[in-house]
Each structure stands twice: as structure tokens, then as C-alpha cells.
Structure 1
Amino acid sequence: MRDLHHQVEVSLRTWTGTHHRLQTQLVEMVTEHAEGDSEGQMELPDGDEEDLCKVWDMAMDKDVAGLLQAFKATDILVGVISRSRCPRLTEICVGILGNIACFPDTCATLSQNENLGEVLLLLLGDADPPTLLETSRLLLTCLSQKDVCSLWLQRIRQQTSVRSNLCFIMSSSTNTDLLEKVGELVETLFDLDEDIMKSWITAQPKQAEGDLDVASCLLEAAKQLRSESPNGLEVYLHALQLLTTIDEGIQTFAAPDGPGQAVGEFVGEVVCKDLCQAEDLSVVLQEQKSTLLQAFSVLQALHRCQDQWRSKADTSVPLIGTVLRVLQHDSDATRESQSGEEEKKDEQLEALAEAAAELLADICVQIQKETVADLVREGYLTERTCVAAARSLTPNFQTSFEHLQRVLSEADPQVGRRGEEAGSCLRRGRDQGSAPVQTLTRRSFL
């Protein structure tokens, strides 16, 4: 290990000990090109690229990152980035800074560089995907360090181009890696700073330039990642879910010309066609519980907005059926745990069942007889799922259950009687204090 550190230090001193030579070379490269074709791009010579990539790799070591700081590498790299017209050179320089920022001490020192703060945020408007990827990574790294997080949030609040640049990437890029990283960045910003989320959701896009609002941009990115990256899709669903936690977000989704209906249709389709298609629902729920949790929360918020949309559409039968299946699985699992060995509770599955019950309650308050008849005819609403619905909706959502029961009795008396029996049994047990009725309370699941 000592030999390795000695080798690294020698390599670094070879590089940074003569950093004036390297800096001169880099500046000459930039200046030479700047004096030529100002619209073109220059290539990084193989030798220089190899040397820089070695430093990039070595900067992953804490001691190396400290040495780079001691040799004022940040100033050198920021100076090169600000004048570079070579995408590969810019990418590598930002990547080196990203590795230096991985450690609290070096990140704290690096973050105090005002020039870096300005240059980095402006780089989000760059056209080179690898550079954008490394820039987003560096920003995420800095935001993850609690000592400098507030400093970077302040810079982002002050630099209005950040929103428009990230929205452009989300709405137009097809680069999976870049969309994933930008999604993580937006999700992190929304999670850390509600003021940023409010200002971004209320910002008016420039229609003349074809800009989209932030919710529509999140939707476009989610569509792009739907089949390519389940993890990326979950990130964007969480970002959309965060928007539903503020009044400004709900107002945007409820607007007649807003993105609410499009988001609802997309999320509902993802739930039915992507997340809950497998026959073995218990396996699916374990694998997809986090994504489903975000999806159900978004759908519930949007369901409450739909009266203000231009064209109100009934909640799809397959979506209601999927919610019933999730609740039936929870009901079956609850009975098994009561009759067998007690297992450790899965808090995420519990939260998923709560979210499903709340969504079903909102749907059932005004559910139409035709919709219930379709649910019965297509096999979604059976005696078993009816009992599961009764367990989930009683007692917290009694009004919703009573309306569902009344409409179901008209659509299919046999299934309706079974649901009525289940509801009566649960009410009697609750009155006697012995029924294993699930208590549904809203829980934070962020």
C-alpha cells in the first residue's frame, strides 16, 4: 500500500509538479483553437487524453484528491473548462473535479471556489451528453455533502438557467444515462428545497421557444426511460409525486390545459401494463413496491384534480382491478400472518396497501354502476376482492365502501351480498374490539 501511494504521489508530482507546463499546454490548445474556427470543435491529442484520464482515475483516492487540492488543481481545471472548445477535455476536467468532490474535506474546499460554481451551472446548457453527465454527477455529489449543500442550493436558486437547461435535457434527450442522472438531480433538488420546487413549477415556459413546463418535462423523460431503466422511471415518478405535495403542483396538474391528464394516463398505463402483469403478484410487489408506491400516490393526487380537466375520463377498469389485486394480496398476507408464525412487517408493503386503499376510496366515492359491472364481468371484482375491499375501506373510508356496496348490489347481487356480509362482520368485530381490522393512516413514504 505504501508503494502504491508513493507511486501515485510520484505520478501526481510528475503531473502537477510540472502543472505549469500542463496548464500552458492546455491553454495553448484552447487559445490556438479560439483563434481559428470559433464554431468548430477540437480533438484532444491521445497523449494528453491518456495523461488526464490517469489523473481522473487516481482522483478516486482520498489522498490523491487531497494532493490535487494542494496543487490547486481546481483553479487549473476551472480555467481550462471556461475556455475549452474540446468536449472530451471538458468532460475529463469535470470528471476529475467530480472525483475530488467525493470526500467531505476536499468537497468543502472545492465548493468555496466561486468560479467553479458559476462555470458548473452554466455547463448544464452544454450540448455534449458526456459533459452534461459529469456535470450532473458533480452537482449531485456536492449536494450530498451536508456542509456545502446549502451553498449549492443557494447558487441553483439564483441561476435561473438551471431549470430551463434541465427541462430541455429531460424533454429532448434520448441518452439513458444522462436522463437517469438528471432525474436524480431534479429529484434531489425537489426533496431538499421546496422553494426550488415551487419556483420551477410556477415558472412560465417560453412558448415561442417551444419550452415545456417542468411536469411535462418529467413526463417526457419518464416515457423515454419506461422500457430502458426501471430505476430511472422510479426516480421520475418520485419527482412527480413530490410535485403533488405542494399547492402549486396540484394547481398545475388541475389546470384544464395542464399536464395532469397526460401524467395520469401514463402512470396508470405503467401500473397496469408494466408493474403488475406477472401472475405471481407477491414477487412483483416485492420487486416493484417502491415504484408502485410512488405511482399510486401520484394517481390519487391526480384523481382529485380531474373534475377541473377539460375532458374528464372515468378511471380505467384495469387500473381499479390492479388496485383490488394489491389489496387482496395484502388481505391474504394479513390472514396468513395471523394464523401462522409472526413475520417481520414490511413497512413499504404496508405503505403500499395504505396508498392503494386511499386511491380506491377516492375512486369508489363516485364510481358508476357501469364501471362496477365491467369490473365484475372482466373478473376484477369477485367475492374475494370484494372482501379485500371491505377490509381496506372499513372503517376509515366507510362512505366510499357504502357507495361501492350499493352500486355493486345493483350490478351483481350475489357479489354484493358477499361484500355486505364482509362489511357487517367487520363492523361487528370492530364494535366488539376483536376484529383484525387494518388501521389505515397516512404515512410518509418519501
Structure 2
Amino acid sequence: MDRNPSPPSSDDEEGQTEDSIGSTVYSKHWLFSTLTRLIELVTKRDKSQSDEDDDDETPLELDEDMENAICKVWDMSMNEEVALFLKEFNAPEIFLGIISKSKCNRLTEICVGILGNMACFQETCAAISEDELLGEVLLLLMCDPDPPTLLETTRLLLTCVSRADVMNTWLERIRKRPSVRDNLCFIMSSSTNGELLVKVGELVDKLFDVDEDLMIGWIKAECAKSDTPADGEEEPGVLGLVPSLLEAAKQLKYDSPEGLDVYLHILQLVTTVDEGIQAIVQHPEDGRQTWEFLFDLTCRDLCQPGDPPLIVQEQKTILSSILAVMSVVFTSQIEQEYTKIGKNLPLIGSLTRILGNLETCQKKNDDKLRSERDEPRDSECEEDFHLQILKDVCCEFLANLLSRLTK
């Protein structure tokens, strides 16, 4: 005779509870065994390499079962209780050893990805940031040729730099490693991986936003190195920051409007200091390429005659960055061919159109407030703030253009 199965005993339930990580359904035993298997795999491979005494290190081959298991750990690490459990298990130290020994791109990517998830939580981020050796290795990974590894490393660094409690620790490390600047410039100037370029841009944008001295140091690095060539030898060219930013922006022009916005904001930050303005205008070719790229965006891509006036709402931040940079270059390079007013008359029409669209948007916002008779919401105040910034920048640039025209 069929009957319903007996309910689990209280002992079974207690055992399951003891094996669970916090309030999750994830198993401590499974996580222990997975990390142990991974350690054994890497240790065995490292020992075999030592026994063979071979200088040509062969990367560790990750079988499908092991890869699937460690990827599950990667997914699990998005949970704070799992992240804390991994910290107690000394996972950051374990992953440091694996990254150093395995020479396996996929495994390095996964390990850094897990650390990146752990860094999303305050306690685990602090533990990762306090590990000096791990911090050094992560910065060294910025020269890794593997794009997925670079993406996860950049994501981890951005997460850490964005946390106020550990920000200074990472800024100090980055200041001490000029190679970080060189590696980021290389990625920006040569990569075609859109996702990586966006994340690198977000990292550089954050670094420059919180540390002006670091930004100035990176701007001046090219001049400092080019002024001191080795005797009798040609020193390898140092990638310029501005050309690297410009190359990344061109790459993202059509593929990622958000990424393009990020890089143009970096250019705007660069022009807030004298060193940054000089970096753009002191080399005529760099200045010309920057100007022509921004000119095309303004006159041929953004806020065009057939666009609805409300398009300026979507494009307000990117337009503000573009016009701010162009205004600075225009007033700094009167003698340059590319800034002559005769070649830039279309800018007057574009700026006038932007101002007209701004006026239309402002009227609609005012009408909406009058009809609702409510206090403006925070989001509306922020929107009005950004529109006002665009209006101010646009008016200043247009005034400079018209002043030059009358002369």
C-alpha cells in the first residue's frame, strides 16, 4: 500500500542547518571540498613543474567539472554571507596563491571575479584591501594580455576605489606604480573590447575625480619621460594620456553612448588643470585631432536639426563635456588653423540650436510644475542643475565664437 514519505527527522534538519552558510541554502561542506580540490590541483601542477625543472611553464589545464564548480563559487560570492564565509576561510590568500601559480587565464579571471564580488561588501573589501601582497599582484595583473582577466581586475579596482574606507589605500598603491598608468593607456589606445574600454574609462574617471594630484602626475608623465632619453639609445615612446583617451572615445562612439560619455567627462576633468590644457594644445596634431573629433560630435552627431527638442535631456552631460573642452581649446589656441572661425561657423548654428532646445525643455518643465503645483522632486532638481550647466557652458562658448567673428 502506497503512503506518503515520512517527514525528515529533526536530526536531518539540524544537520542541514549546520551545513548551511548563514541563512543561505549553500553548503559549507561543498564549498570546502571545492576549494580543497582546487588547491590540490594547483599544488600538484606546481610540484610537477618543479620536478621537471622546466623554464617553459605550461599553463594549468582546467577540466570542465572543476571549472563549473569554481564558477558556482563565483556566483555564490555575490551573497554577503558567502563572501564573509570565504573571508573566514582565508579565500583571498588562497586565490592569491592560485593566481601566482596556475598561469591559467580562465582560472585567474574566475578568482579575480570572486574577489571582485567579495569587494562589494565593506568587511570583505577591507580584508582584501589590507593584504599588501594581494594588492600588488592585482595591480600587476593590469598588464595581463587576457581581456577577461583585465575586465575583472578593473572591476575589482573600481569597486575598491569607490569605497571611502579603503580608497586611500588603493590610491597610495597606484601612485607608487607608474606601470598602472602605462597599462591603462595601452588598453585605451589599442583595445577593441567595448566592455573592457568602458570599465577602464570608469576606473580612470573615478581616479581623476577623487585625486587631482594623481591626474596631474599622469598627465605630466609623458613629458617627464620624453625629456630624459637614455644616452645613445632611443627610449620607447610613452603613450600620451590624451591620445589614449581620444582613441578609446572613437572606439566607443557608435557602440556605447554611455562609454563615450565617460571618456568625454575624463577629457573635461583633464582640462580643469593647466597641465591638462597644455597636454592637449602643446602638440598641434593632438589638439587638431581632439578638436575635429569633438566638432564632428557636435555638428554631425548630437542634437541635429531633425531631432526633437527633448533630445537635449538625454545628451545634456555629454554635450556639457564636449563644449567645455572645446571652449578651453578654442580660447587657448587662437593661432591654430583648426580653431579659425571661418572653419567653425557650423558651431554657431549647433550652439544656437542647443540653446533653443534648452529653452523648450525649460518651458515644459515650468509648465509641468505649474500644473502639478507641487514642490520639485530631487530628480527634477538634479535634471535642472545639469541643464543649467549645459546652458552656461554653451553660452560661454557661443560668446567666444561670436567675439572672434566680430574681430
Q: TM-score, normalised by structure 1?
A: 0.76
Which residue of structure 2 aligns with residue 292 of structure 1? 319
Indicate the residue corresponding to 1:159 in structure 2.
177
Note the residue ranges of structure 1 that are not aligned, 5 or more in a row.
368-402, 408-446
SS of residue paired to 2:306 = coil
* Letter paired with 2:63: P
Are 1:212 and 2:239 matched, yes or no? yes
AA of the residue aligned to 2:353: R
Aligned to 2:353: 325
Q: 2:258 aligned with 1:231, yes or no?
A: yes
1:69 paired to 2:87 = yes
Structure 2 residue identity aligned to 1:330: L
Tell me how far apart the structure 1 counterparts of residues 33 and 112 of structure 2 sit (CA, whole Å).
21
Shift of 1:82: 1.6
Residue 7 of structure 1 deviates from its aligned partner by: 8.7
- Answer 1 or 2: higher relative contact order, Cα 8 Å, separation at least 6: 2
8 Å Cα contact 2:334-2:340 kept in structure 1: no
Tell me the amino acid that sits aligned with residue 318 of structure 1.
P
Q: How does 1:10-409 map to 2 (within 5 A)?
A: 11-16=27-32, 19-32=35-48, 38=56, 41-204=59-222, 208-257=235-284, 259-277=286-304, 279-307=306-334, 309=336, 312-314=339-341, 315-333=343-361, 342=370, 346-367=384-405, 403=406
Q: 2:28, 2:55 → 1: CA distance?
A: 34
Which amino acid counterpart does residue 360 of structure 1 have in structure 2? L
Matched AA of 2:349: G
Pair 1:136–1:18, CA change in 2 (3 A): closer
Alpha-carbon distance in 2 for matches of 1:332, 1:15: 59
Contact 1:191/1:242, CA 8 A, preserved across alignment: yes
| Uncovered stretches (5+) of structure 2, i.e. residues with no partner | 1-15, 227-233
**Using the alignment, how far apart are the partners of 1:102 and 1:246 within structure 2?**
32
1:242 and 1:43, CA in 2 relative to 1: closer, same or farther beyond 3 A? same
User: Is the alpha carbon distance of 1:237 and 1:339 closer, same or farther for their aligned partners in structure 2, counting shifts above 3 Å?
Assistant: closer
- 1:5–1:265 Cα change, 3 Å: same
Query: What is the CA–CA distance in structure 1 between the aligned matches of 2:365 and 2:25, rounded to whole Å?
Result: 59
Q: Distance in 2 between matches of 1:340 and 1:7?
A: 48
Alpha-carbon distance in 2 for matches of 1:364, 1:53: 60
- Taking only aligned residues, the RMSD between alpha carbons, in angstroms, comes to 2.6
How far apart are the structure 2 equivalents of 1:302 and 1:94? 41
Q: What is the percent sequence identity of the aligned residues?
A: 45
In the alignment, the residues of structure 2 paired with residue 171 and residue 202 of structure 1 have an alpha-carbon distance, to the nearest angstrom, of 18
Q: Do the aligned residues in 1 keep the contact of 2:281 with 2:287 (CA within 8 Å)?
A: yes
Q: C-alpha deviations, 1:188-243, integer Å up to 9, x for none?
A: 11001011100100112668534420011000000000010000000000000000
Kindly indicate whether the alpha-carbon contact (under 8 Å) linking 2:309 and 2:358 is maintained by their aligned counterparts in 1.
no
Alpha-carbon distance change, 339 to 95 in structure 1, aligned in 2, over 3 angstroms: closer
Secondary structure of the corresponding residue to residue 159 of structure 2: helix
Q: Write the deviation string for residues 13-69 of structure 1: whole angstroms up to 9, x where unpaired.
A: 333267444312223235546755726544321111111101100000000000000
Number of matched pairs? 368
What whole-Å deviation, never above 9, does each CA across 1:103-161 have from its counterpart, x for those lacking one?
Answer: 01110111100111100000000000000000000001101111000100000000110
Distance 1:32 1:292, change over 3 A: farther
Check 1:309–1:116 CA distance in 2 against 1; reply closer, same or farther (3 A cut).
farther
SS at match of 2:143: coil
- Tell me if the contact between 2:21 and 2:85 (Cα under 8 Å) persists in the aligned partners: no
Q: Counterpart amino acid of 2:43?
A: V
For 1:245 and 1:258, how far apart are their aligned partners in 2?
21
CA distance in 2 between partners of 1:31 and 1:233 (Å): 47
The offset of 1:260, in angstroms, is: 2.2
**2:386 maps to amino acid:** Q
**8 Å contact kept, 1:30–1:85:** no
Tell me if structure 2 keeps the 8 A contact 1:168–1:211: no
**Is the contact between residue 351 and residue 398 of structure 2 (CA under 8 Å) also seen in structure 1?**
yes
Q: 1:307: how far off?
A: 2.5
Deviations 1:399-420 (A, max 9, x none): xxxx4xxx8xxxxxxxxxxxxx
Does the CA contact (< 8 Å) of 1:221 and 1:236 recur in 2?
A: yes
Cα distance in structure 2, aligned partners of 1:305 and 1:54: 55
* Kept after mapping to 1: 8 A contact 2:312/2:358: no
**Cα separation, 1, equivalents of 2:246 and 2:369:** 43
